[in-house]
Amino acid sequence: MNPGATWDYFAAHYDPRYAEQHGHPTIFVNTMHIAGFIDRIATDWAGPYSRVVRRKITLLGSIYAGDSMVGRGCVVAKRHTGLIDLQITVSNQRGELCCPAELTLELSR
């Protein structure tokens, strides 16, 4: 479903055999899935009128089918202009860091 929604048809996202042939235990989620998860962590915390204005992510590992995505975040700066900087991490259920991220949110005034 996700590859079709994001137009990312790289076979390792939907074909377990292809993923295994290329050194992965099974299929894994794509970058836009992780970015959407990070955005959701931030906007669920900040509220429905918040808006993502900057996102920087680093992919260090993969989230495979059957894994749990665990997101954690903290505020690192708050500006008088209504912008908030966050650091968010995405790990799997084993505590392996898969994607650290920096995010800036604009809060409604």
For residue 6, what pLDDT is reported?
A: 67
For residue 12, what pLDDT is reported?
A: 81
Bigger pLDDT: 10 vs 66: 66
Q: Residue 6 phi/psi, 5° resolution?
A: -105, 0
- Per-residue confidence at 7, pLDDT binned at 50, 70, 90? low
Cα separation values, 12 from 5, 62, 80, 91, Å: 16, 11, 44, 20
Average pLDDT over residues 7-15: 79
All domains of the chain in start order, with CATH:
31-106 (3.10.129.10)
Instruction: Tell me the whole-structure pTM to 2 decimals.
Output: 0.87
What are the residues whose beta carbons fall under 8 Å from the beta carbon of 87, sequence distance 6 or more? 73, 74, 76, 100, 101, 102, 103
pLDDT tens-digit readout, 83-95: 999 999 999 999 9
Residue 54 has pLDDT above 80, yes or no: yes
- Of how many residues is the chain composed? 109
Residue 45 has pLDDT above 90, yes or no: yes
Percent of the chain with pLDDT over 90: 78
Residue 3 has pLDDT above 70, yes or no: no
